[in-house]
Chain A
């Protein structure tokens, strides 16, 4: 097994504004989002980061996609450091998250070509990718409709296609099925499985147990920014279902709060 994503002791803290302190009724000036997180994902696998809201999943993926820098530690994607070689990391990953939006004014067709150019692809390469991806997601039917006029599901399909326009080795998805209807969710889940068959390495964050059970080869459970458990799905679910295992870990970590 070839390690393809290696996170080493990642740590990230955020300063709380006075407003945030008031809302959360706390006096702490800094909040630890990721606290010494280490894990390893292997080539051709789907790695799932499982955790409740606020556990640090999104922050971890943002660090891996070089949108933010860790306060300490480092992560290596295909051997490139997220701290020292951010541009190289960006070229070898596709990142899909709810916070990265597409401009409502443009059409999927225009944006696909634009982001292809942003990744340094030539016109012919972009056309070839478009011929491959648009029919697969049914985007060709609304390729000339402005993004602002598309439904949430259609937008998510367009975002997904655009995030992999450059055919990256590693694909990072932050809650890829959030807010989607069952049909669009199926399209995305099937596509993730297909990407895996194509030999791509996928890292996804989610709090949906069924998604992890359906897709992931390896799972990391994050609570309060720390990696509580990490193993293959089969090892984690050897004695109980993933859901039971997760809540057992949660109680162990946080006490009997649920």
Chain B
């Protein structure tokens, strides 16, 4: 009952203060607006008509079907016979040609193979690649189809975004939880209001949990706001070839659990340093350092490859690495479960530490 009263107080404090609600939820709205506007500006050339120049090796009925589909979409295509596969590929890479289609001999009569080379970084090339890929996938014959994206690293916006989404989620969580947690813990300590609660017979662990649980729920709202800000602005950004976000409901569910597991951990981290700090100012300085540390970690996790499986035991880093795997199209179920479990165990340890700190007169009444 005492814990319930403590939690109710935190929720009441938040939901009856419009300024706090706006501060927590506004990042998601801003992200949605910025991404949507950005997507609209950058993809405004989508309505342009393209004159594709495609190198062709071998022949197939599919070529005329692709040509018809291209014309139907209001574009034109010029088929150029490729003399040498390598020079055709480099022409595509250099942007001198739109794509390179290579059919094996007798493709239409035997189960052959077809290779499509394009660059996702070039809007025109990606546009042709999408049309050709869709048509070849629907083509009724048995054959092996290989689609090769020749985009270089600077052009791989999708991989770039995929690498940075975990960092964005960590950022949203920090920004959503930092203000309210520092205010709720260090602020109350500075104003002497938490001492009034500690003068009652309520358990210190309940005081800690009475802060962490509601603040984590509220921060989750903020993180969700940021997350949905991205998801809802994706259709515009996907027009920029960010096909990496085209993943299923199971991936979204795992992503949700990972996010949910890092929120209470981050809130508990902030609450811990806020409990130690004498003032809100001091707490904000400490939290900023922690935020930078975790953001750098999540950026590294998004970019670095070959990180060992030990990473599932490292809080926050585990979630960002597994998020990167998810965004890469994998379905890392056990890594998700272990990461979520580890993050919750670490959160429980932090709650225990905070409760101990509430008992320390040196920390609470200095």
Closest Cβ–Cβ distance, residue A69 to chain B (whole Å): 7
Closest Cβ–Cβ distance, residue A90 to chain B (whole Å): 4
Check if A118 is an interface residue, CB within 8 A of chain B.
Answer: yes
Residue pair B196, A100 in contact (C-beta under 8 Å): yes
Encoded as 1 (CB less than 8 Å from any A CB) or 0, chain B from 186 to 202 comes to 00100111011111111
Residue pair A115, B200 in contact (C-beta under 8 Å): yes
Taking A68-B361, A100-B192 as contacts, is the C-beta distance between A105 and B2 under 8 angstroms?
no
Contact of A69 among B191, B198, B203, B361 (CB under 8 A): B361
Residue pair B12, A103 in contact (C-beta under 8 Å): no
Residue pair B199, A90 in contact (C-beta under 8 Å): yes
Main secondary structure of the interface of B (DSSP, over half): helix
Check if B13 is an interface residue, CB within 8 A of chain A.
Answer: yes
Encoded as 1 (CB less than 8 Å from any B CB) or 0, chain A from 76 to 119 comes to 00000000000110110001000111111110001000110111
Contact of B195 among A67, A90, A106 (CB under 8 A): A67
Residue pair B199, A101 in contact (C-beta under 8 Å): no
Smallest CB-CB separation from A118: which chain B residue? B200
Contact of A118 among B2, B192, B365 (CB under 8 A): B2
Smallest CB-CB separation from B13: which chain A residue? A105
Smallest CB-CB separation from A100: which chain B residue? B196
Closest Cβ–Cβ distance, residue A94 to chain B (whole Å): 9
In the assembly, what is the distance between CA of A114 and CA of B210, in Å? Answer: 13
Check if A65 is an interface residue, CB within 8 A of chain B.
Answer: yes
Residue pair B192, A99 in contact (C-beta under 8 Å): yes
Main secondary structure of the interface of A (DSSP, over half): loop
Residue pair A120, B2 in contact (C-beta under 8 Å): yes
Residue pair A110, B193 in contact (C-beta under 8 Å): no
Residues on the B chain within 8 Å of A104, using CB? 191
Residue pair B5, A105 in contact (C-beta under 8 Å): no
Contact of B199 among A88, A95, A114 (CB under 8 A): A95
In the assembly, what is the distance between CA of A93 and CA of B306, in Å? Answer: 60
Check if B17 is an interface residue, CB within 8 A of chain A.
Answer: yes
Residue pair A105, B200 in contact (C-beta under 8 Å): no
Residues on the B chain within 8 Å of A110, using CB? 12
Residues on the B chain within 8 Å of A67, using CB? 195, 198-199, 361, 365
Smallest CB-CB separation from A98: which chain B residue? B192
Smallest CB-CB separation from B199: which chain A residue? A95
Residues 352-366 of B contacting A (Cβ, < 8 Å): 361, 365
Contact of B201 among A62, A100, A102, A119 (CB under 8 A): A119
Residues 157-216 of A contacting B (Cβ, < 8 Å): 162
In the assembly, what is the distance between CA of A69 and CA of B196, in Å? Answer: 17
Residue pair A114, B365 in contact (C-beta under 8 Å): no
Residue pair A118, B195 in contact (C-beta under 8 Å): no
Residue pair A101, B2 in contact (C-beta under 8 Å): no
In the assembly, what is the distance between CA of A95 and CA of B17, in Å? Answer: 30
Check if B9 is an interface residue, CB within 8 A of chain A.
Answer: yes
Residues on the A chain within 8 Å of B198, using CB? 67
In the assembly, what is the distance between CA of A120 and CA of B361, in Å? Answer: 24
Smallest CB-CB separation from A166: which chain B residue? B200
In the assembly, what is the distance between CA of A119 and CA of B200, in Å? Answer: 6
Residues 169-213 of B contacting A (Cβ, < 8 Å): 188, 191-193, 195-203
In the assembly, what is the distance between CA of A106 and CA of B191, in Å? Answer: 14
Residue pair B365, A68 in contact (C-beta under 8 Å): yes
Smallest CB-CB separation from B6: which chain A residue? A118
Smallest CB-CB separation from A113: which chain B residue? B5
In the assembly, what is the distance between CA of A120 and CA of B2, in Å? Answer: 7
Residues on the B chain within 8 Å of A102, using CB? 193, 196
Residues on the B chain within 8 Å of A95, using CB? 199
In the assembly, what is the distance between CA of A101 and CA of B191, in Å? Answer: 7
In the assembly, what is the distance between CA of A101 and CA of B198, in Å? Answer: 11
Check if B1 is an interface residue, CB within 8 A of chain A.
Answer: yes
Residues 103-157 of A contacting B (Cβ, < 8 Å): 103-106, 110, 114-115, 117-120
In the assembly, what is the distance between CA of A110 and CA of B6, in Å? Answer: 12
Residues 191-246 of A contacting B (Cβ, < 8 Å): none
Closest Cβ–Cβ distance, residue A46 to chain B (whole Å): 21
Residue pair A65, B361 in contact (C-beta under 8 Å): no
Closest Cβ–Cβ distance, residue A50 to chain B (whole Å): 23
Smallest CB-CB separation from A159: which chain B residue? B196
Residue pair A91, B17 in contact (C-beta under 8 Å): no
Residues 4-33 of B contacting A (Cβ, < 8 Å): 5-6, 9, 12-13, 16-17
Residues 47-93 of B contacting A (Cβ, < 8 Å): none
Residues on the A chain within 8 Å of B197, using CB? 118
Contact of A114 among B5, B191, B203 (CB under 8 A): B5
In the complex, besides A99-B192, A100-B196, A117-B1, 18 extra interface pairs with C-beta distance below 8 angstroms are: A66-B199, A67-B198, A67-B365, A68-B361, A69-B361, A87-B201, A99-B195, A100-B195, A101-B193, A105-B17, A106-B12, A114-B5, A114-B9, A115-B196, A117-B5, A118-B2, A119-B201, A120-B1
- Return the 6 tightest CB-CB contacts between A and B, nearest first: A117-B5, A101-B192, A118-B200, A90-B201, A100-B196, A68-B361
> What are 18 A-B pairs at a CB distance below 8 A?
A62-B365, A67-B198, A67-B365, A68-B365, A88-B201, A91-B201, A101-B193, A101-B195, A103-B188, A103-B193, A104-B191, A105-B16, A106-B12, A117-B2, A117-B5, A118-B201, A118-B202, A120-B201
